[in-house]
Chains A and B, each alone.
Chain A
Amino acid sequence: DIQLTQSPSTLSASVGDRVTITCRASQSVSSWLAWYQQKPGTAPKLLIYKASNLQSGVPSRFSGSGSGTEFTLTISSLQPDDFATYYCQQYSSYSSRTFGQGTKVEIK
């Protein structure tokens, strides 16, 4: 199975900060990578698909980039609603999809 490693595991930031989360794959997933946001007690929400495509309704302060084995999720100006846990997920192989371990974005 393809392993995904996110860094950092926890990130402390302030409102207005630019935040970057990295996701590294154990082998190439081309651009078949999605990013999800999850708040405590709620379901994950799709933010980005195919590495850099913004899901409809998601604020433009979220962006994704990368291909192959290295990807980033960037929040250009952190808002109070953005404090959550973020997961990357590869879908290069539909029979074996995997998630990263998550990155918790906390208030500094």
Chain B
Amino acid sequence: EMQLVESGGDLVQPGRSLRLSCTASGFKFGDYAMSWVRQAPGKGLEWVGFIKSKPYGGTTEYAASVKGRFTISRDDSRSIAYLQMNSLKAEDTAVYYCSRDIIEAKATSMVYRYYYYMDVWGNGTTVTVSS
């Protein structure tokens, strides 16, 4: 059974740092891109960012709201994705979900374009930023 388990959520003061982990099982982790999505209390879903699989470069992309403060990394040998959060703000308070990305490729002109959607989700971990 495919499973994602997030951990590391905590109560932290504004300006501090926190690292979340997402441990995968039941599928070949290294073959997939991984995303992080958050949900503030009583609010909708916000995509935070993702990391491609190493065969596709292993690069990262981030939402504007977290770019420069958050960093996503991965350890394929341990099937873990990380979300390093620095300079935390009150508005970062949320449940943080990790998810597995499915890639679709479409040939256009001379190149392929890639599209990613999220199919398997973890149960989330709660981050509260407050003094």
Contacts and interface: CB of A to CB of B under 8 A. Distances in A.
Given A94-B50, A94-B61, A95-B61, A46 B117 contact: yes
Given A43-B122, A94-B115, A102 B44 contact: yes
A87 B61 contact: no
Interface residues of B, number: 23
B1 interface: no
Contact of B123 (A42, A46, A98): A42
A96 B63 contact: yes
A46 B116 contact: no
B20 to A, nearest CB: 15
Interface residues of A, number: 26
Given A34-B118, A42-B123, A94-B50, 17 more contacts: A32-B115, A43-B121, A43-B122, A44-B45, A44-B97, A49-B117, A87-B44, A89-B47, A91-B115, A91-B116, A94-B114, A96-B63, A97-B116, A99-B45, A100-B44, A102-B44, A102-B45
Interface string B101-121: 010100000000011111101
A45 to B, nearest CB: 7
Contacts of B47: 89, 97-99
A99 B123 CA distance: 19
